[in-house]
Structure 1
Amino acid sequence: MIDLAWYFRQQWKRYLGSILILLLVSLIELMPPYLIGYTVDGVVDGSIQLNTLALIVLGSIGLWVVVYFLRIRWRIWLFGAAAELGKVLRDRLYRGFSRHSPHFFDRYKTGDLMARGTNDVRAVEMTAGEGVLTGADSVINGVLVFVVMTAVLDWRLTLLALLPMPIMALCINRLGKRIHTAFRSSQSAFSDLSDFTQSSLNGVRMIRAFGLEQRQIDGFNASADETRKRNMDVEKVDSLFDPVIQITIGASFFLSVSGGGYLVATDQMTIGQLTSFTLYQGLMIWPMLAMAWLFNIIERGAAAWERLKEVFDEEPEIKGGEQSPGNNEIIDIQLPAFTWRGHKEPTLRDISLSLAPGKMLGIAGPVGSGKSTLLNILLRLEDPQQGRVSYGGVDIRSFRLGDWRGKFAVVTQAPFLFSRSIEENIALGRPDATTEQVRLAAKMACIDEDICQLPEGYQTEVGEKGITLSGGQKQRIAIARALLLDAEILILDDSLSAVDGRTEHTILQNLRERQAHQAMIVVAHRLSALESADRIIVLQKGHIEEQGNHKALIEQQGWYAQMHRYQKMEKVLEGK
């Protein structure tokens, strides 16, 4: 069952105002059928005067004008509140996404999360708008019309007209359960289709490179066909509502007209009264339709809410503390062991190191040695089961997550660029930065000249994920973005791999010149990037195999020295 009581309490003024206007509109709408019946009887017996007839017509027009403006007002209040709910739910989803650890996104695919934030939110939003409207309007209108039909006209004819209603209620209840299951299944299929589409678009270059276009088209068609089948299941159930309602309405009119004809023939009711009764019965059609539609909306909303609640109920695995970290303190890492979830063997073992302000730490090692894992722990994307990371002697788990992560500027090997201008991408962390500040950061990252050669310079749109730029250009723009942020600790995670050696040397020299107040961690496979590091650690199978500065590691004749000789030989062979 969908639980929106918390939101209705927040927006009670809008909802109460809308319901009160709906009540007023329903009361006004009770008058025309009575006036029409009165007019019919007056015409039949010749007692109605022309001026009275004109007054009735003008009065009816005036009532409908009032109803018109009242309907505008309640729609603004009611559907405005429903639209606000959509905003609240999407904001809650996005905030949740930003707090979760990478494990969350292993369990939920991107396309599935997008579907929950669009279709599912829209279904819940419809429940808070159309659902409330149909529920309140059908109850108010139905009760008022029933009272008038029973108390003012003829209660026997009213009961006769309502005889088919229990059968309709039973059928709608069963159809509602079926549509709940069918709609949830269709939403799941749409999630799969969204995820397939998103992954295909992201990997379009690879798909073309391997000639997999037809295979992807076939896969997309299969997913789309499955979504169509699930949607058709929903429509099949949905299509059964109208026949049930129409048959019920037809049976109700047949019984009431038959019974009313008998009452008129036996002088127990006038033709005008029967006319009024049938008009009131016409007003009862909307409540009947609304109740059926209400069941449909509620079941769709409930299915969507269940999918949203699955995400809302996910507690973030990484939670922050209440303290705020100081500034320019020593980072101390003591990790006896760290094991990834689902793994038996630890990824990191016996890690002990520290980083002082203004110092540069280099991290090297073969693929799978634990370099990225160590950075994840430092950034609190993962928490260690044993040991701790401290800052100024305080466990980093005591700090607020936003405050702690705000101390870092991170550049990854495959940086992400948004579909905006280059200037906006560089100024992502400091949107208030001036053009001069952006250009200074770009010059330090050795990308300013490249940018100036582009058609629109810093205002050039980079395309989705920076598709219009080379790998080296994207990396240098990401470095400029990190430099502009001027964080306390700069992390370069193999983020110079796509630039040439000369550019790499220039960038690192620029970084060292401004490093008096900034600590730096550089992870690199190309060891030339680590030569100026104050300390270098070499990770092998999760533990520190070697450590020292560049010169000391060369003298140790271990993995670092061997890899350094190999890379120097490679440069010679390539003629660099």
Structure 2
Amino acid sequence: MQLFNQISWYLFQEWKRYLGSIALLIIIAILQLLPPKLVGFLIDTISTNKKYHYKLFYWLVLIFLTSIIIYIFRYMWRVLLFGASYKLAIILRKKLYLSLSQKNSSFYDKYRTGDLMARATNDIDKIVFAAGEGVLTLIDSMITGISVLIIMVIQINWKLTLISLLPMPIMAIIITKYGKKLYIAFQKSQQSFSNLNNQTQENIKNIYTVKSFGLEKYEIKKFKEILSETSKKSIIVSKIDAKFDPIIYFSITVSNLLSITTGSYLVWNNNITIGQLTSFIMYLSLMVWPMLALAWMFNIVERGSASWSRVNEIISENNIKQMKNKKILHHKSNIKIKISSFQYPNTKNIILKNISQKIKFNNIVGICGPTGQGKTTLINLIQRNFKIKKGQIFYHNVLISNFKIHSWRKKISTVNEKTFLFSDTIANNISFGNINITKKKIEYVSSLVNIHHEIIKFPKQYDTKVGAKGIILSGGQKQRIAIARALLMNREILILDNALSALDKPTQNMIFNNIILWKKQNHTIIIVSHELHIFKKINNIFIIQNGTIKDSGTHDELIKYQNWYSKMYHQQQQK
């Protein structure tokens, strides 16, 4: 029942739909009381030999018309109620997507893709089902149950009603007990389903790696183990779920037995008529639905509540905070980096320390150093992918944390070593983020990265579909398309993080020279690379070793004395 409180904001938002559904359900509940009353009256009329045969046709037509009206009203409330619940699915998925787009990198270190997909699909479906069927069963069972109960007490016999409904409180207690167990079991089942989703997603994503190492049998075995665990959790849920119906049907059977035995005694003593007993038994049959609905409601609402907890966990997880004093960026300026120390969340290893440097606007800056020394970490901090606790990064002498995250990132284009391409055409991948861009501009940036001549060799040229993650392209082609995309965005700050690693030296030099021409005194470029030959024309080079900047300067300055840069440069030249 907690779920209704959790989604109360939506119930109030769509109050017209829900109120309309409730009104129709009340009308239906009242109309359902008419047929048993008419049947009881007919039986009493026939049993007492009263001459009302001429009204028989009238009563039958009335029962038929009542059924037709009930059918129409049932259709109407379904449109209203389920329409509202499906709308909730759209709202929740929008909220979830918006929340995911505002999370920082530490969030994605905590949650896996398959788990997030399970919450966005399976869990939201359970919430929507509870918001539709759950509301229906709650309102319909309450209205039908209360209205039938009033008729049974007032118009037939209160003693018979009391005795017949004795099993109901016991049934309610047992169902409540199992409902709590179902909530816990279903949460575990959903988490197990998320694990299964994770494994499936990773296997499909890395299918070529699995095949290349011949690990199909190993991965199948691992998948079967996770599948078996998921099945066990689902069976536990099913076992608890299976206990609901027997309890309900046993309670109904006992109620019918009590009503017949007690009713027969009352008829024998002339306290009620046979027609009244018949009406009572028909009314009691109408109570079957509220009782079944009660068990069903507990089932779907507890499932929905468990799913809500999982979805709300993601939505309510801290997003990147937007302070009230954020400033919108309209200028171009220098970047100042002052970091005392930095370590990733939930780790103790210090990745960066004692860094104090300036990246001047309109300059090209190179970052190099041994593997695993913090180069990419520094790039992540400039992009505000992680929060710096001991240190700051300034832009135009203002903390970048004081800018709106969207405004700051609109100034940056980044190309990483591991590029991502959408399952779309080459043209759409290059023009990503530029809806109204012309084909001429797409071809221009493609020429800058030396891939235009390769694209036009494809049968459909720029309209060629690249497949999942650009499967039809080579590593070098993917990188060049990603660089073309970044150039087309024409942002103030261009970051290339090992973005040329899959290319040969002549192509690297050609692209770098073209980027210098593209720059046109309007861009700050930061290049991270192990290929030191491209740093010859760079304004400033930072050498990161052991998490700090050991040396800095131009290529000509650094090559003059013994340091990591000069040593590696000479080694690369000898190759």
TM-score by length of 2: 0.95
How many residues end up aligned between the 2 structures?
570
- Give 1:472-483 correspondences, 5 Å limit: 472-483=476-487
Deviates more, 1:80-89 or 1:358-367: 80-89
> Using the alignment, how far apart are the partners of 2:548 and 2:101 within structure 1?
31
Q: Indicate which of 369, 384, 389 corresponds to 1:365.
A: 369
Q: What is the deviation of 1:15?
A: 1.3
Q: Tell me, yes or no, if the aligned pair for 1:86 and 1:125 is still in contact at 8 Å.
A: yes
Deviates more, 1:267-276 or 1:187-196: 267-276
Percent identity between the two aligned chains: 40
Any idea what SS the aligned residue of 1:531 has?
Answer: helix
* Equivalent AA in structure 1 for residue 365 of structure 2: L
What value does the CA root-mean-square deviation take over the aligned residues?
A: 1.7
Question: Cα 1:342–1:54, aligned 2, differ >3 Å: closer, same or farther?
Answer: closer
Q: Tell me, yes or no, if the aligned pair for 1:176 and 1:296 is still in contact at 8 Å.
A: yes
* Equivalent AA in structure 2 for residue 518 of structure 1: H
- Which residue of the partner structure matches residue 574 of structure 1? none
- Which residue of the partner structure matches residue 541 of structure 2? 536
- Which residue of the partner structure matches residue 306 of structure 2? 303
* Equivalent AA in structure 2 for residue 335 of structure 1: I
1:450 paired with 2:450, answer: no
Q: Indicate which of 382, 386, 390 corresponds to 2:386.
A: 382
Any idea what SS the aligned residue of 1:187 has?
Answer: helix
* Equivalent AA in structure 2 for residue 339 of structure 1: Q
> Using the alignment, how far apart are the partners of 1:108 and 1:344 within structure 2?
20
* Equivalent AA in structure 2 for residue 211 of structure 1: G
Q: What is the deviation of 1:392?
A: 1.1
1:569 paired with 2:546, answer: no
Any idea what SS the aligned residue of 1:514 has?
Answer: helix
Any idea what SS the aligned residue of 1:66 has?
Answer: helix
- Give 1:383-402 correspondences, 5 Å limit: 383-402=387-406
- Give 1:116-265 correspondences, 5 Å limit: 116-265=119-268
> Using the alignment, how far apart are the partners of 2:360 and 2:249 within structure 1?
78
Q: Tell me, yes or no, if the aligned pair for 2:427 and 2:463 is still in contact at 8 Å.
A: yes
> Using the alignment, how far apart are the partners of 1:318 and 1:441 within structure 2?
35
Any idea what SS the aligned residue of 2:390 has?
Answer: coil
Deviates more, 1:350-359 or 1:560-569: 350-359
> Using the alignment, how far apart are the partners of 1:531 and 1:177 within structure 2?
68
1:522 paired with 2:527, answer: yes
> Using the alignment, how far apart are the partners of 2:516 and 2:101 within structure 1?
33
- Which residue of the partner structure matches residue 560 of structure 1? 565
> Using the alignment, how far apart are the partners of 2:321 and 2:40 within structure 1?
70
Q: What is the deviation of 1:53?
A: 2.0
Deviates more, 1:430-439 or 1:412-421: 430-439
- Which residue of the partner structure matches residue 506 of structure 2? 502
Q: Tell me, yes or no, if the aligned pair for 2:430 and 2:488 is still in contact at 8 Å.
A: yes
Q: What is the deviation of 1:131?
A: 1.0
> Using the alignment, how far apart are the partners of 1:390 and 1:23 within structure 2?
64
- Which residue of the partner structure matches residue 74 of structure 2? 71
1:329 paired with 2:347, answer: no
> Using the alignment, how far apart are the partners of 2:434 and 2:305 within structure 1?
42
> Using the alignment, how far apart are the partners of 1:299 and 1:244 within structure 2?
18
- Residue by residue, what CA displacement relative to the aligned partner does 1:15-40 show, whole Å, maximum 9, x if unpaired? 11111111111111111111122222
> Using the alignment, how far apart are the partners of 1:145 and 1:12 within structure 2?
26
Question: Cα 1:48–1:517, aligned 2, differ >3 Å: closer, same or farther?
Answer: farther
Q: What is the deviation of 1:179?
A: 1.1
1:493 paired with 2:497, answer: yes
- Which residue of the partner structure matches residue 12 of structure 1? 15
Q: What is the deviation of 1:431?
A: 2.3
> Using the alignment, how far apart are the partners of 2:322 and 2:200 within structure 1?
33
> Using the alignment, how far apart are the partners of 1:344 and 1:235 within structure 2?
44
1:420 paired with 2:424, answer: yes
Q: What is the deviation of 1:393?
A: 1.2
Q: Indicate which of 275, 280, 298 corresponds to 1:277.
A: 280
- Which residue of the partner structure matches residue 95 of structure 2? 92
> Using the alignment, how far apart are the partners of 1:344 and 1:181 within structure 2?
34
Q: What is the deviation of 1:215?
A: 0.7
Question: Cα 1:55–1:443, aligned 2, differ >3 Å: closer, same or farther?
Answer: farther
Q: Tell me, yes or no, if the aligned pair for 1:101 and 1:318 is still in contact at 8 Å.
A: no
* Equivalent AA in structure 1 for residue 446 of structure 2: A
* Equivalent AA in structure 1 for residue 570 of structure 2: R
Any idea what SS the aligned residue of 2:319 has?
Answer: coil
> Using the alignment, how far apart are the partners of 1:380 and 1:21 within structure 2?
53
> Using the alignment, how far apart are the partners of 1:260 and 1:432 within structure 2?
79
Structure 1 regions of 5+ residues with no counterpart?
571-576
- Which residue of the partner structure matches residue 433 of structure 2? 429
Question: Cα 1:492–1:257, aligned 2, differ >3 Å: closer, same or farther?
Answer: same
> Using the alignment, how far apart are the partners of 1:481 and 1:539 within structure 2?
28
> Using the alignment, how far apart are the partners of 2:164 and 2:437 within structure 1?
72
Deviates more, 1:399-408 or 1:264-273: 264-273
Deviates more, 1:218-227 or 1:14-23: 14-23
> Using the alignment, how far apart are the partners of 1:161 and 1:459 within structure 2?
73
> Using the alignment, how far apart are the partners of 2:514 and 2:64 within structure 1?
80
TM-score by length of 1: 0.95
1:40 paired with 2:82, answer: no
> Using the alignment, how far apart are the partners of 1:344 and 1:7 within structure 2?
43
- Residue by residue, what CA displacement relative to the aligned partner does 1:243-277 show, whole Å, maximum 9, x if unpaired? 11111111111111122222233333222222211
1:287 paired with 2:290, answer: yes
Q: What is the deviation of 1:483?
A: 1.2
Question: Cα 1:297–1:390, aligned 2, differ >3 Å: closer, same or farther?
Answer: same
Q: What is the deviation of 1:344?
A: 4.5
